[in-house]
């Protein structure tokens, strides 16, 4: 099993995921809803963690076998959904538990549309944007 190659790929994916946290921060800045800081912190955390996983393994470029491919797909869903929950965990409003944040993240990326949030209309615009962006990203993921 080529663990270093798998870690390299996952690190790159987490670093790429970090970019998806910038549009909600921009939306928060435009609407001045106060929800931008958790998205900026999530961006920095994902970028830093992804870089730490990718950089030491950047030269591990060998052909993957089916076994590694299956593992990458499983870890892709678990790791990216977990990292996309970071801004939801850090939000002050709505205040979500870790379990609720993971649920929102997983349901967004799997495009189930399930939610534990109530009074969605009253949420900050950045959170609304992020929820819809996760749905959109989940739709693109299912194409591949």
Q: Kindly list the domain boundaries of the chain, sorted by start residue.
A: 3-141
DSSP assignment letter at 144:
-
Residues 6+ apart with CB under 8 A from 132: none
Confirm if 40 and 91 have CB atoms less than 8 A apart. Answer: no
Nearest alpha carbon to residue 7 among 54, 43, 42: 54
What is the reported pLDDT for 142?
A: 60
Residues of the chain with pLDDT under 70: 141-144
Q: Where are the alpha helices (DSSP H) in the chain?
A: 3-19, 22-31, 36-54, 66-83, 86-90, 98-109, 125-141
What is the reported pLDDT for 86?
A: 97
What is the reported pLDDT for 144?
A: 57
What is the reported pLDDT for 31?
A: 95
What is the reported pLDDT for 35?
A: 85
What is the reported pLDDT for 1?
A: 87
User: Cα–Cα distances in Å, from 41 out to 14, 118, 122?
Assistant: 14, 25, 23
The total of other beta-carbon atoms located within 10 Å of residue 50's CB is: 21
What's the pTM?
0.90
What is the reported pLDDT for 125?
A: 94
What is the reported pLDDT for 124?
A: 92
């Amino acid at each position: 099993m080529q663990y270093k190659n798998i870690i390299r790929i996952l690190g790159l994916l987490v670093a790429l995921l970090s970019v998806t946290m910038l549009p909600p921060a921009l939306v928060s800045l435009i609407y001045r809803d106060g929800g931008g800081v958790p998205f900026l912190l999530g961006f920095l955390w994902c970028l830093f963690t992804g870089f730490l996983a990718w950089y030491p393994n950047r030269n591990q470029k060998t052909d993957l076998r089916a076994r590694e491919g299956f593992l990458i797909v499983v870890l892709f869903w678990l790791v990216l959904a977990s990292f996309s929950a970071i801004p939801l965990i850090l939000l002050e409003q709505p205040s979500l538990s870790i379990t609720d944040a993971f649920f929102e993240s997983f349901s967004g990326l799997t495009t189930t549309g399930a939610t534990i949030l109530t009074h969605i209309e009253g949420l900050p615009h950045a959170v609304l944007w992020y929820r819809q962006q996760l749905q959109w990203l989940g739709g693109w993921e299912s194409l591949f």
